[in-house]
């Protein structure tokens, strides 16, 4: 007798790596990302964070959206969509990009892989088929395919990640520079490795056909056993990316196409991503508005703060008067105590004219059911909180 699960339609999908991840998720700490069952953490968020900073750890990026854009017009289509000039991106290179509405408001960020002159892969956090199709409207030779479910993708990050890949047999991987793509023959198919990641540390992302996914996982974990390999989930990712001062949707920015109140979304300039906007290239979506924005200056600017004390300034308002009595000049988007830097770090959206003021955060926290608040001085930082030399070195050190 066969029974059908009446709830099958609303259960989360399972990633290619689920059979392994399930065994390693000792705490059964799951949530959902893009419809996939996804780990918040496997053992302990802080432990996993330290694996990223001290050993190596893997992050399942199967649920991340992946699109293949193929055809003679592929580059033109993408170049019209994103703010960066893709013509400057070499073959087998990855480019971090953002794309905006006509109003110059940010829709999403992601990475574009140039796999051939007429073949690209776009990866991003949220589904974007509709916007891609809109961008391709009117172009003849371009095919857009959502390949999310056919690729097994795994990120490996941390100081021993290169050593682990070498031990796995990926000869020459140490020569990959940041944002390089390399291809390795793997059981009759191809294993693509990019030197990319979302942790600010040395790291790589592995891309392979779905049916070889588990085999690749096993080979990677066998190679990494002596290098401390460990899976990490959303919680540790969020810690590492904040130390690297990388932005996160629904934290630093509200995706423009999902924004109700049109003051609630952001421009690349507000997010400190002006370096990704290239006015020297032909027309792209949002160009005119961004030209205007650049001239006028952004209303808000995302800044990095080191805040006194050790209480994370989560959801705090930022003031430019010591008593925090006046009108607030900004708000914290992400905050944490950074174990690696030993600092109370945060990113905050502050009205541009107040960016250089003396700033204070009003921090609320609770302890044994009691509420407390504290006013803490903020110091502005200009560089990423965490940026080890190994993240840029080629070849990188073994640990």
Partner 1 sequence: MSHHDAIIIGAGHNGLTNAAYLAKAGLNVVVLEKNDYIGGAASSRELHDGWTYSNHSYVCSMMRQAIHRDLDLGRHGLILVPYLGTVNFGDGDERLFSYHDEEAEHLELKRHSPHDADAMHRFQADLTRYSQLIRKTLMRTPPEPTSFRPRNIMELLWLAKKFWALGEKEIYEYVRFFTMSAADYLEDYFENDLIKAAMASPGIIGTALGVYSPGSSYILLHHVMGDVDGSIGAWGLARGGMGAISKSIASAAQGFGATIQTNAAVQRVIVKNRKAAGVVLENGDEITARIVVSNLDAKRTFTRIMDRNDLPDGIYDKAKNFRIRGSSGKVNIALSGMPKFTGVPDNKYLNRGGQGFTGSLETMERAYDCWKRGRWSDDPFVESVIPSAWDPTVAPVGQHWMSNFVQYCPPKLASGPWSPEKRDAFGESVISKIERYSPGFRDLIVHMEVNTPHDMENKIGLTEGNIFQGELTIDQLFFNRPFPGYGQYRMPVKNLYMCGSSTHPGGGVSAVCGANAAREILMDLRLTNTVPEDDFYDE
Residues lying near partner 1 in the complex (CB under 8 A) are found at 27, 43-44, 46-47, 50, 53-55, 159-160, 163, 226-228, 308-311, 337, 339-343, 367, 372, 374, 398-399
Shorter beta-carbon distance to partner 1: residue 90 or 339 = 339
Tokens of 176: 């990959």
The CB-of-292 to partner 1 minimum distance in angstroms stands at: 40
Q: Which long-range contacts (CB under 8 A, 24 or more apart) does 108-117 make?
A: 108/249, 108/255, 109/247, 109/249, 109/273, 110/65, 111/196, 112/78, 112/82, 112/86, 113/181, 113/194, 114/86, 114/89, 114/90, 114/181, 115/91, 115/181, 116/91, 117/75, 117/91
Taking residue 110's Cβ as centre, other Cβ atoms within 10 Å add up to 21
* Closest CA relative to residue 312, chosen from 335, 290, 280: 335
Distance of alpha carbon 217 from alpha carbon 166, whole angstroms: 15
Q: Which two tokens stand for residue 235?
A: 């919680």
Residue entry with tokens 């009117």: 138
Task: Specify whether the CB–CB gap between 255 and 106 falls below 8 A.
Answer: yes
How far apart CA 158 and CA 228 sit, in angstroms, is 10
Q: Are 267 and 253 in contact (CB under 8 A)?
A: no
Q: CA of 239: how far to CAs of 34, 63, 189, 242, 384, in Å?
A: 20, 20, 35, 5, 13
Q: What CA–CA distance (Å, rounded) separates 39 from 26?
A: 11
| Per-residue tokens: 88 | 């400057």
Show the tokens assigned to 119. 């073949």
CB of 309 to partner 1, least distance (A): 5
| Shortest spacing between CB 80 and partner 1, in angstroms | 42
Give 107 or 376: the residue with its C-beta nearer to partner 1. Answer: 376
Choose between 135 and 157: whose C-beta lies nearer to partner 1.
Answer: 157
| Residue among 286 and 396 whose Cβ is closer to partner 1 | 396
Min. distance of Cβ 21 from partner 1 in angstroms?
Answer: 16
Instruction: Quote the radius of gyration of the chain (alpha carbons, Å).
Output: 22
**Minimum CB distance to partner 1, residue 105 (Å):** 36
* Nearest-approach distance from CB 167 to partner 1, in angstroms: 8
Q: Report the nearest approach of partner 1 to the CB of residue 310 (Å).
A: 6
Quote the least distance from Cβ 355 to partner 1, whole Å. 23
Q: CA-CA distance, 138 to 204, in Å (whole number)?
A: 36
CB closer to partner 1, 295 vs 367: 367
Name the residue nearer to partner 1 (CB basis): 47 or 96: 47
Is 54 or 272 the residue whose CB approaches partner 1 more closely? 54
Q: Which is nearer to partner 1, 33 or 386 (CB)?
A: 386
Closer to partner 1 by CB, 257 or 384: give it. 384
- Report in angstroms how near the CB of residue 45 gets to partner 1 at its nearest: 11
Residues 354 and 301: their CA atoms lie apart, in Å, by 9
């Amino acid at each position: 007798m066969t029974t059908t699960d009446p709830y099958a339609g609303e259960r989360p999908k399972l990633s290619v790596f689920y059979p392994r991840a399930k065994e390693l998720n000792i705490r059964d700490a799951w949530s959902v990302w893009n419809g996939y069952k996804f780990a918040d953490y496997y053992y302990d968020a802080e432990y996993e964070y330290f694996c990223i900073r001290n050993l190596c750890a893997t992050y399942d990026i199967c649920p991340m959206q992946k699109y293949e854009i193929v055809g003679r017009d592929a580059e033109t289509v993408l170049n019209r969509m994103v703010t960066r000039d893709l013509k400057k991106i070499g073959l087998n290179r990855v480019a971090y990009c953002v794309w905006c509405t006509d109003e110059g408001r940010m829709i999403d960020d992601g990475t574009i892989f140039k796999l051939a002159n007429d073949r690209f892969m776009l990866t991003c956090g949220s589904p974007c088929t509709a916007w891609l199709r809109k961008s391709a409207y009117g172009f003849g030779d371009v095919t857009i395919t959502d390949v999310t479910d056919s690729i097994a993708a795994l990120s490996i990050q941390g100081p021993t990640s290169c050593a682990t890949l070498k031990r796995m047999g990926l000869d020459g991987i140490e020569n990959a520079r940041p944002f390089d793509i390399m291809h390795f023959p793997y059981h009759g198919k191809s294993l693509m490795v990019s030197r990319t990641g979302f942790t600010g540390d040395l790291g790589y992302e592995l891309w392979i056909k779905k049916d070889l996914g588990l085999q690749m996982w096993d080979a990677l974990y066998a190679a990494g056993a002596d290098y401390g390999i460990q899976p990490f989930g959303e919680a540790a990712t969020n810690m590492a990316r904040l130390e690297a001062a990388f932005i996160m949707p629904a934290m630093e920015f509200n995706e423009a196409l999902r924004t109700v109140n049109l003051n609630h979304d952001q421009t690349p300039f507000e997010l400190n991503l002006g370096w990704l906007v290239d006015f020297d290239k032909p027309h792209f979506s949002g160009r005119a508005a961004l030209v205007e924005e650049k001239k006028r200056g952004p209303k808000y600017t995302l800044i990095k703060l080191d805040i006194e004390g050790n209480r994370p300034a989560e959801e705090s308002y930022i003031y430019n008067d010591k008593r925090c009595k006046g009108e607030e000049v900004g708000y914290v988007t992400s905050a944490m105590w950074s174990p690696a830097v030993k600092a109370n770090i945060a990113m905050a959206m502050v009205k541009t004219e107040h960016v250089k003021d003396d700033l204070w955060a009003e921090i609320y926290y609770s302890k044994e059911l009691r509420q407390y608040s504290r006013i803490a001085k903020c110091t502005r930082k200009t560089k990423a909180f965490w940026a080890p030399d190994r993240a840029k070195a080629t070849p990188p050190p073994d640990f």
